[in-house]
Every structure is written in structure tokens, then in C-alpha cells.
Structure 1
């Protein structure tokens, strides 16, 4: 494999690895945001339970639910934003994989063409030797 092909493949591998790390980070952030929503949902259920048995908690429940809706809305917006970022990162990773495969294909084709050319040269040498032996 030629030096230029090795360099292109090495650079492409680095890009793929970088994008994989970025995607993993985005996925972890998404899981964290989804966990925040689940915790908020569990907290509001606890407050509703408490309000069923506590008159003071029942009076404050509407204000709590209003605050909960706002916090949940922010968390849902975060998940939506992270989902879009994740889709973009997946697309970029797919593109990087495709580029890597193209470079690997070009390098392999170049290597095979060099082998074919070397085999042709060797065959031509043997043919020339055979002709010399016949003539001589």
C-alpha cells in the first residue's frame, strides 16, 4: 500500500473514531435528559399521592404541577435538541465510514493493479527468455 493511501486511511480512521466518541457523548446526554424526565414524572406522582392524604399539599399541588410542567417542557426540549444533534452525528459518522471504505477500496485496487503489472512484467521477461532460447 502506498504512503498516500496509508495516510488517507489513517486520517479517515481518526475521523471515524472522533465521530464515534462524539456520538457516544451525545447518546449519554440523551439518556441523562430522558432520566430527568422520568425523575420529574416520578416526583409529580409522589406529590399527587401526598396531596390525596394531606390538605396543605393538596392546596399547593396546582402550583407544583405548573412548575413541573415548565421543568418537564425544558427537559423535553433538551431531548428534542439532542435527538436532532444525534441524527446529525449519525449522518456524519455514516459519511465518514463511506469515505474510509472508498479510500480502502482505492488502496486495495492500487495494490492489485501493481501486482497485475508486476505479473505482466514477469510474464514478458519469461516470454523474452523463451524467445531467446528458441532463437539461439
Structure 2
């Protein structure tokens, strides 16, 4: 019985660790997307300063700045999508941790019951020995 509960606890711990890894990976992706978008903002600003034109509707507006804006917008949209996945991953991690705690509590209860049963059996043996000694006297 013990090995089954230990196996279940190991499985739940593995699942929690896996959820943590997924969460960290998503957080890293969001941070990378936001960092790259910030870098593109800086490049766009430098291009505005070089050309002296910051009006997107201007006929001589930099094609590099337009392309960089498109890439930046795509990165920010991707970061927004990943934030939704991040929330889902956080929920999945919380659920996995909760399941692990439940399994650990059940294991503790089972261990406590086994210890109580062992103590009761041991006490019964002592009672029987005492009864036999009492009868012999």
C-alpha cells in the first residue's frame, strides 16, 4: 500500500515540477517579446530622429520605421496571447499543487491509521500477556 501512495506522490510532484517549467518558459517568452518590442521602439525613435519625420502618414516616412512598427505590433500581440496562456499555466500549476497536497494529506492519514492500528495490536498483545500473567499468579 505504501509503495502505491509513494508512486502517486512522486507522480504528482513530477506534474507540479512540469507545470512550473512550463510557467517559467511562458514567462520567459513574454519577457523576450516585450524586450524585443522595446528595442524596436528604440530603433523607430532613432529612425525618426535620423529622418526628422515622425508622421506615419507623411509620403517620405521611413519604410524601415513602418516595418519595425509592424514587427513591434506583432510582438506585442504575441505577448498578449502568451499572457493568456500564462494565466492558464498559473491556474494549472495551482491545481497541480492542490492535487499534490491532497495526495500527501491522504498519505499522512493512511500512515496515521496504520500507526494507530499497529499501536492497538501491540497494546492487545501486552494486554493478553498481562492477562496470562495474572491468570498464572
The two structures have a TM-score, normalised by structure 1, of 0.86
Aligned residue in 2 for 1:43: 43
Q: Verify the 8 A CA contact 1:47 1:61 in the aligned structure 2.
A: no
Aligned residue in 1 for 2:98: 98
Aligned residue in 2 for 1:4: 4
Q: Verify the 8 A CA contact 2:33 2:75 in the aligned structure 1.
A: yes
Which one is further off, 17-26 or 62-71? 62-71
Q: Verify the 8 A CA contact 1:5 1:107 in the aligned structure 2.
A: yes
The two structures have a TM-score, normalised by structure 2, of 0.86
CA RMSD of aligned residues (A): 2.0
Residues 17-63 of structure 1 show CA distances to partners (whole Å, capped at 9, x for unaligned) of 2111111211111111001110111011101111239xxxx863365
Which one is further off, 69-78 or 92-101? 69-78
**1:128 has 2:112 as partner:** no
In structure 1, what is the Cα distance between the partners aligned to 2:81 and 2:20?
19
Q: How many residues align?
A: 132
Aligned residue in 2 for 1:27: 27
Q: Verify the 8 A CA contact 2:44 2:69 in the aligned structure 1.
A: no
3-state secondary structure, aligned to 2:90: helix
**1:107 has 2:130 as partner:** no
